């Protein structure tokens, strides 16, 4: 119960960071739709009408972890439901070198990160507020086990297999929290937006290079699959900074 309460409080913090990452609804970088023939579109609007933006939340990132915020904006009159999301960092080797924490691993990361931020700021008020706001990253994670929160790590290239297992066992809520990018399906209301985040660990190998952009594929119910390209900021980030000191 205490673990779930901490997770819920941290969700408030993360939601605040997602909302405050810029003065407008959109994140810093707007994704470019990719057509079926692999060409970037001249417009930022996708075929379904969505506009997608994203950025790295540098305050939450560290040497081994990157946190990406992604916003789906829906200016249409229709409800748009996202049935699945897949990320591609450019190669199978790189995708297998980047890991997605879930369940208890997200909780462990959240606790250490909130404490790290408080220590770096050297401010008692900040420390108390961070620990109090703490944990939403995953409200509902504790439902899967009577003895506490469970979790694990899965390579980005293998996330689909984790989804399939979670759906089969009816444990999707215990795998990814509601605001997580991979917690599908989720809906984007007409004229509004959906703000999501994803925690990434790695790359595990030095030859993966600097991770500064991605392709995202997602399924829009009744409209089909769409693909966008997003290049996110690396300025000042600690996430695998050694590999990103040069051109990325």
Neighbours of 59 (CB within 10 A): 15
Distance in angstroms (rounded) separating the CA atoms of residues 19 and 41: 27
Quick one: CA dihedral 221, 227, 231, 237, positive or negative? positive
Neighbours of 230 (CB within 10 A): 21
What are the structural domain ranges in the chain?
2-235
Beta strands (DSSP E) in 89-212 are: 99-103, 151-155, 186-188, 193-201
CA distances to 112, 176, 234 from 63, rounded to whole Å, are 13, 23, 13
| CA-wise closest residue to 58 among 242, 182, 240 | 240
Q: What's the predicted TM-score (pTM) here?
A: 0.78
- Beta pairing partners, 220: 82, 224
Output the tens digit of pLDDT for each of the chain's 248 residues: 555 555 555 555 555 555 554 457 899 999 999 988 888 998 999 999 999 999 999 888 899 999 999 999 999 999 999 998 999 998 888 899 999 998 888 888 988 888 888 777 765 455 445 444 344 443 433 333 333 457 788 888 788 777 667 666 666 555 788 899 998 899 999 999 999 999 999 898 777 788 899 999 999 999 999 999 999 877 778 898 878 875 54
Neighbours of 89 (CB within 10 A): 23
């Amino acid at each position: 119960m205490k673990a779930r309460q901490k997770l819920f409080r941290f969700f408030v913090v993360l939601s605040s960071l997602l909302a405050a990452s810029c003065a407008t609804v959109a994140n810093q970088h707007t994704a470019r739709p990719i057509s079926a023939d692999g060409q970037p579109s001249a417009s930022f609007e996708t075929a379904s009408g969505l506009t997608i933006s994203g950025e790295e939340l540098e305050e939450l990132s560290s040497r081994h972890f990157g946190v990406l915020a992604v916003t789906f904006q829906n200016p249409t009159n229709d409800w748009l439901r996202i049935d699945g999301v897949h990320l591609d960092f450019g190669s199978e080797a790189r995708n297998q070198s980047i890991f997605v924490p879930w369940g208890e691993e997200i909780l462990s990361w959240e606790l250490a990160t909130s404490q790290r931020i408080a220590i770096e700021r050297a401010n008692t008020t900040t420390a108390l507020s961070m620990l109090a706001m703490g944990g939403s990253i995953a409200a509902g994670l504790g439902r899967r086990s009577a003895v506490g929160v469970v979790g694990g790590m899965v390579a980005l290239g293998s996330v689909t297999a984790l989804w399939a297992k979670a759906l089969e066992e009816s444990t999707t809520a215990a795998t990814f929290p509601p605001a997580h990018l991979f917690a599908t399906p989720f809906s984007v209301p007409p004229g509004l937006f959906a703000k999501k985040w994803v925690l990434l660990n790695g790359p595990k190998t030095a030859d993966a290079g600097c991770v500064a952009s991605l392709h995202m594929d997602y399924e829009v119910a009744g409209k089909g699959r769409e693909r966008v390209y997003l290049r996110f900021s690396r300025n000042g980030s600690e996430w695998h900074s050694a590999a990103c000191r040069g051109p990325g």
